[in-house]
Amino acid sequence: MDIDVLGALDVRENGVSVAPTAPKPRQVLALLALHADRVVPVASLVEELWSDRPPRSARTTLQTYVLQLRELIATALARGPGQQSGAGPERRTAKDVLLTLPGGYLLSAGGGTSDVREFERLAGLGYRAMDAGDFAGASRTLAAALDLWSGSAFADVQTGPLLTVEAKRLEESRLCALDQRIEADLRLGRHREVLAELTVLTSRYRTHENLHAQFMIALHRSGRRGEALDAYLQLRTTLGRDLGLEPSPRLRRLQHSILMAAPETAPGPAAPARAARAAHPHDGPLAPTH
């Protein structure tokens, strides 16, 4: 089974989609697919579908949705090699793919692909490359991780409370990988290449200090010192108006460095990626570097 949730939901068995079009069965499949090969409690599925107001028939209705999913899985299985004739002693059934277990249900991926798991694997490799100072490898690997995204997670799924939280978690993971990929590119001197991307990102994430710091550095290195200083002033205005905050000391030092046109020096070792992931978005590069 192949599972994609980093964009539109697509779950395929034997290359055949088993994703229903009806909203609530689609929600059930999305939550099961995200947690493939793990039991999803009935209580969690009920909460996702009806929040804190489940109907009396919630469990029965959930069972109906599971049956609908199994019908779609059975149709897909019937198209597999040897399935139409029933050949082979280990013929899989829909109940082998979508299992009923004590307390919940489990969607068995059967060794198939999952874009979430592949994203997390590649992102982890990228962060380790950053920690080791392999900026080219980090940029390449993190770019591959980000290429797995085709839109917002569960883009075409009606999300309840659980999937909404999971979508936010995945988006934060995506933003962290993006931040570190741009950091790697800046370390490689690719400031002009990331300018257009950072223009969009700083417009979208208007209070994200690390992205703004990267934008300021890219502008400064590209000979656009005035625009770099203007980016700082815009961030300061937004932080003050929306959050009642001043830019962090790190951003103020970066602004001062650009304002004074301080000589640029070769970059030192990159901050460990694990620290960057744990840090508040206010943490960012201290000064423009080559």
pLDDT digits (tens, 9 = 90+) for 144-202: 999 999 999 999 999 999 999 999 999 999 999 999 999 999 999 999 999 999 999 99
What's the pTM? 0.85
Q: Does residue 195 fall inside a structural domain?
A: yes
Residue that the structure tokens 């009396």 belong to: 56
Which domain range does residue 72 map to?
2-107
Report CA-CA distances (Å) from 278 to 18, 113, 172, 275.
37, 28, 12, 5
Q: Does residue 11 fall inside a structural domain?
A: yes
* CB-CB contact of 110 with 1 (8 Å): yes
pLDDT reported for residue 6: 98
Among residues 107, 123, 157, the one where a domain terminates is 107
* CB-CB contact of 39 with 105 (8 Å): yes
Q: Domain holding 80: CATH number?
A: 1.10.10.10
pLDDT reported for residue 150: 96
Tokens linked to 50: 């009806």
Residues of the chain with pLDDT under 50: 84-87, 89, 263-271, 279-290
Q: Does residue 127 fall inside a structural domain?
A: no
pLDDT reported for residue 90: 65
Decide: helix, strand or coil at residue 127: helix
Q: Does residue 176 fall inside a structural domain?
A: no
* CB-CB contact of 138 with 184 (8 Å): yes
Report CA-CA distances (Å) from 51 to 47, 55, 162, 170, 201.
4, 10, 9, 21, 33
Residues 6 and 103 in one domain: yes
pLDDT reported for residue 81: 59
Residues 194 and 289 in one domain: yes
Q: Please report, to the nearest 10 degrees, the dihedral formed by the alpha carbons of residues 283, 287, 288, 290 taken in order.
A: -100
Q: Domain holding 262: CATH number?
A: 1.25.40.10
